Chain A
């Protein structure tokens, strides 16, 4: 029987069938951070259970750390965050788990660090205590977020009790219009199906637009698919993915790689495989998007006006955001600009933002920071001179981490402040209590930073000769 890519990946990892909808699924690789793992280790310890396969885990510090330079943990003023970092390192040492701690040159946001070091491969099942784990679907890995109890379950058993999803195909064909990038595709998808529209589904992105995207852009797409409720996002791996992996430190090599490549060729949906739902998106309709509300599906093209509220939820969002229906989106003034997060803080993202900022400066009254996704991204950007462009424009050039994506460290927006943000969630209070977040691509954040107002990036793009 023809199968979808998702079904193949599940089938290859079923340890046992539990009931009609659940299987015991094998987890090839598991990633942890400092804030969702401590209680999992505590549970393990109180039950006197060992970690089943220590080499199948990686831990990274990213959520609570400051992004200003420090040389010692004692310089972290926040005692709770410091305790989480220390606890992670004690737990990793105790169980022999690899850790990229704050001072490791490979440290950064987990979903940037994992692919960058070649830990994510086609055909793997990868779990992590963070919802944006869907990122690794860009490599053809079945990857999804889990809670703390499930982290404990993976540590103890290397498996998860897994609810099998329905496959959804999202077909996108055609060239991406000027001024748009993967962020706009995924925001258009989330807007189209709604914040719960892909709930219960594993999404597979296909079509000529996807084929043409770089691996990094595919990560942006898969990363944010979770904002439509998708518990998994996939793209069939192609030569671009195989080339990207080649030479990364943790990727398979030699004979193992040769065999892997043979198996990876088969990681695609069979031509007549049935999807439970098919969504088609026409790239000609994609424009640079910004959110106007407090849910990632509340977005519109920058050239549009804020739509009339449909229901109490929309009105509540507008009240929180301090906006009115009918207001042109490109008339909204901002206080802050943030470029960062696992969605949009890889090198290509920084390059596109820097291209807009080159020769321009941040508008008066706007506080702008850029937080590279990892230390390696930061070093690469510095080698290319991007840091100089950001700094000359008036952006603060920071160390790696999640930072103002969820504002668990000291990078927080004040109540009422409005932030143009390259992140993935515009929830109430996400960037600080009362803070107002507008999601958009990094190049759109750069455009807003220099004008002080949400702006159509296309008006600032240099004409291509």
Chain B
């Protein structure tokens, strides 16, 4: 056994969760709530990667803009199947703060998509009818309705769409609250512990071999976001799951003027004003990602590109100073669907990799995986997210 070669971490658990981001923390919270002993391992500090650098949006709709241009409609038609899961997640977020007894700055503010041309409007109509098939609730708005919802938009905006069931939360408060609640129910969190291997235990279950010793567990759940490929490779699975470095930026705080999430039908921009008054500007602009795992750098052309569109469609944003830009690395499954389920051929190993809606979906994906490892029937169909489609066993 591993204990012969490395010092024993004095731990055993029903479930070891690898990865202490929002997904891992949400899983630990669910497990602990149902009476399972959970131990969360993170090779760094808890929630310091994508969970710490995302904008905290709770999306329902397909974020338009460059997604369509880059991937085309067939891809979007597959991606649209996640809408029903987003809808479910939105309902969970409504109650999450109260459930955790913490103010996580959650607000169902709704999301506006602006259109500048007739082509933009036609595209939105097509997008909305696709989303409606999966429970989406967006509606088209004309120029007057748009200005009633968002008086600050540029004169060139001819209309757009509005989805009332979208919101925002403070991502830092939300993930910390989940971890605290999990801890309160008995879950343990160990940071600075890196997983090297997971072996079948002769006694049944799994032995998680780490750089600080081994932990026995009945189940192991991998919830390591962009680093899932690296981790799953260690147990013999190669995932076809690229990662992508994107960047976000924030302006100085200003009196509230933008109350909803803001998107553009065609151009690469997302905006929202957070509770502190700062405006967060994103849209998936590329950042630089070095060969070294932790190395990211913001790109000045992405900063100026996002800033130019932002002030073009919301002129008063041009009056605000930018404070900071930051990069993060996200997992981006090729087909846009999360990966949730049993690692193929590994009875007690599970994996959860979100798509680019990791923050939104954490309450739903965590519930799905906890139901699956108890062999419970899930209320959300997990077959769509089957890991087998993305994983190839290495020989």
Do A and B interact?
A: no
**Chain B contacts to A: CB under 8 angstroms:** none
**Chain A contacts to B: CB under 8 angstroms:** none
